[in-house]
């Protein structure tokens, strides 16, 4: 059964949560009195659909259903989780919790608050144990961090349930062990923000110069190693201790004005807003969101490739979903092609002709054959032990078109096999339609010796079982074909 979340407050952050839940297959009920909320969430969804699926090589679940409601009670009906994302005013949040807990006693409420402690949020509630902080970062549909912060009123089971829900939608729940205002992320960001406002107010740097100082330098480091790991490296071979010895005294030098904050007044707001308009006013906010999202997608994918930082979270989420797909497959050898892979055509796979680009058909074949190799025991452990299959020859036929968002399945038929090689025939299917076939000869190789050798007895036994089952299948139409046209 599809799970349901209620999103109360559908602004910047509520819209981002709605997108994350929906794209991860949850149904979402929204309540927001703003008559523009539906239009705004549709705009966020349009950007999110371009960005979030592009992070993953595993197809997203079928998108959940989004509904808008006239009351909090209707929005929360049937929901197992509420993400409260109303404006940052404590009395408003209290009012919303009272309505939620009256309509749906016992429902778990996570708050997006940027700084109120769970114990502040819980004040006056008849069931404080069900209110907890789940603080996200913008854009919620791309950035994995959710700071989960409870008070002594939250039993471990509530914290754990929040953690599990965050994981289910691909987030990285960081449980904050001590209740503090603004948690970890915003405490840190607020310090940076104050410092930046001082530099601006004192005329030392413009908004653009400050942004350049971040994005051309240390901002790139933070995104993949954080602060401490970065400084550890900055200490050279002697590491953190040397770093501290060298830069520790700077704590007392006039490097920072944080002891004091600039006065928050109209003059400061004008200074910041005017410079920001001059810097970025040529883009609409939605354009800036798309630029930001595509940059983040590239950055996060690079981290995923390296299995590092936030990329590790993405990879684990992909692996969980891929494992669920494979667990549902029937891989017993029989006289039928084996369904081995599932893919979804992503934005970056589309070429100037508006359909899936050539190299992605090869990729789809690799995904399918790699899954088959894992099935016969020639996965990564086998490769690490020094043996692998190398492809020696490949023939792709393009029979149909795959478009953005299409869901594809890769099936494998083994045409022939012996101890040293196999010939596979992969069909890339869009539903019942075959959009491409890929015929390939793979050789079993001793990687160190760099030559073809027989596969291990276990691998060969599994490969032979499939090859024997497939021997009864008719030769696929198109197998063994050379490229069509004769010479002029
Ligand atoms: N904007 C940001 O960068 C971040 C904000 N947050 C937090 O998320 C929460 C929401 O902030 P934003 O989305 O930025 O604000 P926003 O102003 O974009 O959205 C707030 C929404 O709450 C709605 N609202 C007001 N009263 C309501 C009620 N009684 N019931 C339902 N909806 C109601 C408003 O109509 C509005 O659409 C705040 O607690 C904020 O601190 C958390 C992380 C980042
Ligand atoms: C500015 N802010 C305090 C609302 C920011 C956050 O809460 C987190 C973020 O996205 O930077």
Domain ranges of the chain: 4-183, 186-282, 330-470
In ligand 2, which atom is closest to the CA atom of 189? 11
* CA atoms lying within 13 Å on the CB side of residue 429: 17
Question: What is the chain's Cα-based Rg?
Answer: 27
Give whole-number Cα distances, 65 to 22, 29, 56, 273, in Å.
7, 8, 21, 38
- Residue 200 Cα to ligand 2 midpoint, Å, equals 20
* Nearest residue by C-alpha to atom 7 in ligand 2: 114
Alpha carbon nearest to ligand 1 atom 14, residue: 12
Q: Are 371 and 325 in contact (CB under 8 A)?
A: no
Separation CA 221–CA 356 (nearest Å):
34
Three-state secondary-structure class, residue 377: coil
The 3-class SS string of 430-487 reads ECCEEEEEEEEEEEEEECCCCEECCCCHHHHHHHHHHHHHHCCCCCCCCCCCCCCCCC
Nearest to 166 by CA among 123, 205, 136, 201: 136
The alpha carbon of 379 and the centre of ligand 1 are apart by a number of angstroms equal to: 47
CB atoms within 10 A of CB 213: 14
Largest CA distance in the chain: 86
- Measure 314 CA to ligand 1 centroid, in angstroms: 26
Give the CATH number of domain 330-470; options: 3.10.129.10, 3.90.950.10, 3.40.50.2300, 3.40.50.740: 3.10.129.10
- The neighbouring-strand residues paired with 411 are 339, 427
Pocket of ligand 2 (CB under 6 A): 114, 137-138, 186, 189
pTM for the model: 0.82
113 burial level (CB within 10 Å; 0-12, 13-18, 19+): buried
Residue 217 has what DSSP assignment?
A: I
Written out in words, the top-level CATH class of the domain with range 186-282 is mainly alpha
ipTM for the assembly = 0.96
**pLDDT (0 to 100) of residue 144:** 96
Average pLDDT of each block of 10 consecutive residues along the chain (488 residues)?
96 98 97 97 95 86 96 98 98 98 98 98 98 98 97 98 97 96 94 92 95 90 87 83 82 70 80 86 88 89 91 92 87 94 89 94 96 96 98 96 94 98 98 97 98 98 98 94 77
Q: Known binder of ligand: residue 396?
A: no
Of 471, 469, 456, the C-alpha closest to 377 is: 456
Specify the CATH number of the domain 4-183.
3.40.50.720
Cα 393 to ligand 1 centre (Å): 56
For residue 12 the two structure tokens come to 């910047």
Q: Is 15 marked as a binding-site residue?
A: no
Query: Is 13 part of any known ligand binding site?
Result: yes
> Contact at 8 Å (CB) between 17 and 86?
no
Of all ligands present, the nearest one to the C-alpha of 136 is: 1
Helices and strands (H, E) in the chain, number of each type: 17, 14
Probe target for ligand 2 pocket from 136, 138, 145, with the most ligand atoms within 8 Å of CB? 138
- In this structure, how many other beta carbons lie within 10 angstroms of the beta carbon of residue 229? 14
């Amino acid at each position: 059964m599809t799970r349901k979340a209620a999103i109360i407050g559908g602004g910047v952050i509520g819209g981002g949560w709605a997108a994350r839940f929906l794209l991860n297959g949850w149904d979402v009920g929204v309540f927001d009195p703003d008559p523009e909320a539906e239009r705004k969430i549709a705009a966020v969804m349009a950007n999110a659909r371009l960005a979030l699926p592009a992070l993953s090589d595993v197809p997203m679940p079928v998108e959940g259903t989004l509904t808008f409601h006239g009351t909090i009670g209707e929005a929360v009906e049937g929901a197992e989780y509420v993400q409260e994302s109303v404006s940052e005013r404590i009395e408003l949040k209290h009012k919303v919790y009272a309505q939620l807990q009256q309509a749906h006693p016992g429902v778990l409420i996570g708050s997006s608050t940027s700084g109120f402690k769970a114990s502040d949020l819980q004040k006056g509630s008849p069931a404080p144990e069900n209110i907890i902080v789940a603080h996200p970062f913008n854009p919620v549909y791309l950035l994995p961090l959710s700071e989960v912060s409870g008070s002594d009123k939250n039993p471990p089971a509530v914290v754990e349930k929040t953690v599990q829900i965050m994981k289910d939608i691909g987030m990285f729940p960081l449980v904050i062990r001590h209740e503090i205002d603004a948690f970890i992320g915003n405490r840190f960001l607020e310090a940076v923000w104050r410092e930046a406002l001082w530099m601006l107010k004192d005329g030392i740097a413009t908004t653009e110069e400050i942004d350049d100082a971040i994005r051309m330098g240390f901002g790139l480091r933070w995104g993949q190693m954080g602060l401490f790991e970065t400084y550890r490296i900055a200490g050279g071979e002697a590491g953190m201790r040397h770093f501290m010895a060298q830069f520790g005294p700077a704590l007392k030098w006039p490097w920072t004005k944080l002891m004091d904050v600039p006065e928050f007044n109209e003059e400061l707001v004008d200074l910041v807003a005017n410079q920001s308009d001059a810097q970025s006013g040529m883009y609409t906010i939605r354009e800036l969101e798309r630029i930001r999202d595509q940059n983040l997608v590239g950055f996060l994918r690079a981290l995923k490739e390296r299995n590092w930082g936030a990329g590790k979270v993405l990879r684990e989420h992909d692996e969980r979903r891929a494992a669920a797909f494979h667990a549902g497959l029937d891989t017993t050898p029989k006289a039928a092609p084996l369904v081995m892979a599932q893919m979804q055509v992503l934005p970056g796979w589309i070429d100037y002709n508006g359909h899936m680009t050539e190299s992605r058909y090869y990729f789809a074949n690799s995904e399918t054959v790699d899954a088959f190799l894992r099935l016969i025991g020639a996965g990564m452990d086998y490769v690490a032990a020094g043996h692998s299959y190398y492809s020696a020859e490949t023939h792709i036929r393009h029979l149909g078109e795959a478009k953005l968002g299409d869901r594809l399945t890769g099936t494998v038929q083994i045409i022939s096999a012996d101890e040293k090689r196999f010939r596979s025939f992969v069909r890339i299917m869009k539903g019942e339609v075959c959009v491409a076939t890929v015929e390939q000869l793979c050789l079993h190789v001793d990687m160190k010796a760099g030559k073809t050798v027989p596969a291990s007895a276990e691998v060969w036994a599994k490969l032979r079982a499939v090859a024997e089952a497939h021997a009864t299948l008719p030769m696929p139409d198109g197998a063994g074909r050379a490229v069509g046209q004769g010479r002029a």
